[in-house]
Amino acid sequence: MIDVHDMTVRFKTKTGYFEAVRDASFRVGEGEVFGLVGESGSGKSTILRALTGLTPTARGQMKIGSHVPGEKIDRSFRRDVQMVFQDPYGSLHPRFTVDQTLREPLAINRIDRQDDRIVEALREVGLGPAFRFRYPHQLSGGQRQRVAIARALIVAPRVLLLDEPTSALDVSVQAEILNLLRRLHVERKLTMILVSHNLAVIGFLCSRVAVMRNGEIVEELGIDAVRAQQVQHDYTRSLLLATGGYQRKVVDVIGVDAAL
């Protein structure tokens, strides 16, 4: 479904050009959930924006289904490929009700039965009809992200690009959104790319993962290898260590020392 070969994205700065992504290559099968993981500034989100046509590429080839994003982007591409952004507080228009937010993509794509589709989209993401005429400031972060997901899904895309969809949310809300995304993937047979800096989040949804550092993909492996910590690159090992967090034994020792 997604084929990326030697993608390079370059930005002009005062001191010259900066390559945010260098020679990135990967493939994602139809119905697969693929992960991109790495620290902030590693180029993960830039790849997603390039796939949607929001950011131009300097070189390389991309193909999503029958679409080639580097060429003229038509309405069918916009329907097939949708993106959910990281910040649920900035991705919704503050003066649009939920109804207006969900109605706009339907109107742009000339899709009928708009009222029925809006109600169904809200139900699908776990929000009742009572949320339909609320404004973003009347919603929690998790509810806003559910609306953003509904907006992406309401045009029935084949590919869903997720740019750290849970990083701005509380831990308990993160779990709810991840469970929602897993259910939607199964029910709709969506192809997904999930960007995250957290290998635990990647491991929950993805079958394969590419590890990025300084704009380059340093390693690509299956999620079973990640769980077994069978990795080759030192940077991937450092990410695994960071994801592991504190060990209970260490916390107990610190507590005892503090008490003494």
- pLDDT tens, the chain, 260 aa long: 999 999 999 999 898 899 999 999 999 999 999 999 998 889 999 999 999 988 989 999 999 988 887 666 778 888 999 999 988 888 899 999 999 999 999 999 999 999 999 999 999 999 988 999 999 999 998 999 999 999 999 999 999 999 998 887 888 888 899 999 999 999 999 999 999 988 888 889 999 999 999 999 999 999 999 888 888 888 988 888 877 653 334 444 444 444 44
Specify the pLDDT at position 258. Answer: 43
CATH code of the domain covering residue 79? 3.40.50.300
Nearest to 44 by CA among 157, 161, 149: 161
Residue 37: closest CA among 247, 238, 246, 245: 238
Tell me what pLDDT residue 168 has.
73
Total domain count, the chain: 1
- 22, β-bridge pairs: none
Residue showing tokens 């509904």: 150
Looking at residue 70, its pLDDT comes to 65
Q: Domain range for residue 137?
A: 2-259
